[in-house]
Amino acid sequence: MDVEALKELVVKYFKYMGYEVEDNVQLEGHSGMIYAFDMLMSKGDDKRLVFVRDWKRTVGVNMILKLDKAAEDVGIMDPVFVATQFSDHAKSYANRKKITIIPEQKLLLFFKKASEPT
């Protein structure tokens, strides 16, 4: 799956969950740095920032850390990272810091189950 197809799947997933989704968002942090996020989701007062990476390799802890620091600087906590796969260290860090990580396979299974007749 290419990155655009994965992003479309992520948008569809979060819209299904009741979020409004804004693509390709740039926000200025308290530090003055400008950060680019793939999406900003909102549902009422709940706002979540999203990174989407369609890499053949595993996403490591450094990328999770980068998302965590960027989200903290702009003041929107509990970000989301969507990718093909995550390292064990990345999963552990994300769990400790309340960062939601979503493997691509989980999205595919969700929509497969949602489309099956009951």
State how far the Cα of 9 lies from the Cα of 28, in Å rounded to an integer. 27
What share of the chain has pLDDT > 90, as a percent? 84
Q: pLDDT tens, 34-83?
A: 999 999 999 999 999 999 999 889 999 999 999 999 999 999 999 999 99
Does the domain formed by 3-110 have CATH 3.40.640.10?
no
State how far the Cα of 53 lies from the Cα of 17, in Å rounded to an integer. 21
35 DSSP β-pair partners:
27
58 DSSP β-pair partners:
none
pLDDT at 118: 59
State how far the Cα of 117 lies from the Cα of 46, in Å rounded to an integer. 32
Predicted model pTM? 0.90
DSSP 84: S
Q: With contact defined as beta carbons under 8 Å apart, do 82 and 37 qualify?
A: no
- Where do the structural domains in the chain lie, given as residue ranges? 3-110
Q: How confident is the model at residue 111 (pLDDT cuts 50, 70, 90)?
A: confident
